[in-house]
Chain A
Amino acid sequence: MGASATMQEATEQETSLMKKGLADEALAREKSKPLLAEYDRKMNRDDTDRIAGATNADIMQSADATPTGQLLAAGQGQQQRETGLGQGLVDGGLNAAVASKARQDGMKSGYNTLGNKKNLGTTMGMGTAASAASTVARAEADAKTKENNAWMDAMVEIGTSYGLKKYDDYTTANDAYKEQKSKKHPWAERRGDTKLGELRKAREESDLFGLFSRFGGK
């Protein structure tokens, strides 16, 4: 039976953190949706007429004018003169337009700031995700390398063992042949010494004979 690694499971705290994160983000997004729609409506609405209308109505009333504006010009008999009310209405309207524009600009600026914050959050989230994926990928590559190296070492070890074993077989056969040969007449094998012939044959039939006789032979 081989060794098996114990895997680290996610802790309850880690799971809870993930659930809370998902819930908070989803809640914020859901609750923001109608607010953003309202914000969009407000910031794209031109309030000039609305505010100017209210302002002008106030001006007219302060001048005791009726809605039809009979007091724009006032006078007695043929000596009519300006009341200044018309100028007041112009000024009021202009102020209202400026205020309306400033309000819209302020809202759009705020909206853009919020959008930038959200975009930054998204970018940072992508950065974290990429970093996490890279960490896992690097660990996977390291692990594969470690496994491959280990198996390569094992194969080399096996190969070395195999080679040593075969070399041992070769040297045993070689030594036996040479020992017998040294004890007998140089022409003994040619004269029919079968024992010596068998030893030579055994030596030549040993595995990797060609390799060992050339580079490791005695």
Chain B
Amino acid sequence: MGVAQDNLNTVTEAQQASYDDNFKQQLDDFAQSALNDSTLIDRAAFDAKLATETATGINTRARSRAGVALSGQAANHAARLGDIQASKFTANANNRAVVAQDARNTDVLTDSLNAYNDLGNAGMNALKDSAGLEANREAGNRNRRAQASASNASTVGSLASMMIFGL
């Protein structure tokens, strides 16, 4: 094998190893996240929970400007306001998170499908090249087989002629 081919083989093997080590699993994981990722929704749920707890804390520690604990109707009003704000935040965050998560997962889905399509095309190209190489090899073999047969025919003809003249 020639030096150029040796070099090409070495680089190709290194590239294959690099792909296997660094990209193959990453692509699979990325593609899988298009089907099951809920990071944004989880984050919204966490924020909503935090907001609810914060509101509850504010309600229970509600004070007037003078630092006196609210009581009676004033305390109820403050608690109601806190609950409303928390509830609004929660519903809003969840709604937006669901839509945002779906948009993100759809983008990843599209990118991943295109990436796998490129991979499939690379495979097809390799198979097409293989088919071409095989066809050339097979054509060459048949040509050589025919040449050998033709050579045999010539030999047979010559031998037969010599025998005929020798009779």
Which residues of A approach B to under 8 Å, CB–CB?
Answer: 2-8, 10, 13-14, 17-18, 20-29, 31-32, 34-36, 38-39, 42, 47, 50-51, 53-55, 57-58, 61, 64, 103, 107, 110, 114, 117-118, 121, 124-125, 128-129, 131-133, 135-136, 138-140, 142-144, 146-147, 149-151, 153-155, 157-158, 160-162, 164-165
Number of interface residues of B (CB under 8 A): 68
Q: Which among B45-53, B54-62, B70-78, B117-125 touches the partner chain?
A: B117-125
Q: Which residue of A lies closest to B132 (CB)?
A: A132
Q: Are B122's CB and A143's CB within 8 A? A: no
**Which 6 A-B residue pairs are closest in the complex by CB-CB distance?**
A21-B126, A25-B123, A154-B157, A24-B123, A150-B150, A139-B139
Could you say which of B98, B132, B157 has the most chain A C-beta atoms within 10 Å of its C-beta?
B157
Partner of B141, one of A8, A23, A121: A8
Neighbouring A residues of B120 by C-beta, 8 Å: 24-25, 28-29, 32, 118, 121
| A28 CB, min distance to chain B CBs, angstroms | 3
B 120-165 contacts with A by CB, 8 A: 120-158, 160-161, 164-165
Say what secondary structure dominates the interface of chain B. helix
Q: Are A135's CB and B135's CB within 8 A? A: yes
Neighbouring B residues of A103 by C-beta, 8 Å: 106
Does B113 have its Cβ within 8 Å of any Cβ on chain A? yes
